């Protein structure tokens, strides 16, 4: 059984940007050097000025879902690395600046090695969550 696009959109809007759910007022975008699945946690870079990026959880930063997908409405930029972060293969959305609960996750379209002085940026629409 699969959700219809209508229900997928309602669930996405409910969790990220609208509906009755007491969603977090801020979500935190994190990066992982290992693949994330339902049964494996993210492995975040340590040191080198890495920190999850706080994003206000509203309809400007996460516009309404369409066709079972929802994407960021504003750029999301991590601080410049002050040391190597390793090769980033995935991202996630959590409800806390550290620890907390992962709300959604995905893989980068191509792994990205992050050396000192480099930044990772998700352009508008680049961080996409899709319900299948």
pLDDT digits (tens, 9 = 90+) for 43-77: 999 989 999 999 999 999 999 999 888 899 999 99
pTM above 0.75, yes or no: yes
Whose CA is closest to 98, among 48, 28, 39?
Answer: 28
Looking at the predicted structure, is the pLDDT value of residue 10 above 80? Answer: no
CA distances to 41, 75, 77, 106, 113 from 126, in Å = 22, 8, 12, 11, 18
């Amino acid at each position: 059984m699969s959700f219809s696009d209508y229900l997928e959109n309602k669930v996405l809007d409910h969790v990220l940007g609208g509906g009755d759910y007491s969603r977090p007022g801020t979500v935190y975008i994190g990066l992982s050097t290992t693949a994330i699945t339902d049964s494996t946690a993210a492995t975040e870079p340590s040191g080198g000025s890495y920190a999850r990026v706080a994003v206000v959880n509203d309809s400007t930063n996460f516009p309404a879902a369409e066709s079972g997908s929802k994407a960021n409405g504003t750029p999301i930029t991590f601080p410049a690395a002050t040391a190597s972060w390793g090769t980033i293969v995935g991202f996630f959305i959590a409800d806390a600046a550290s620890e907390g609960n992962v709300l959604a996750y995905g893989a980068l379209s191509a792994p990205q090695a992050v050396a000192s002085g480099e930044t990772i940026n998700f352009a508008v629409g680049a961080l996409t969550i899709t319900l299948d």
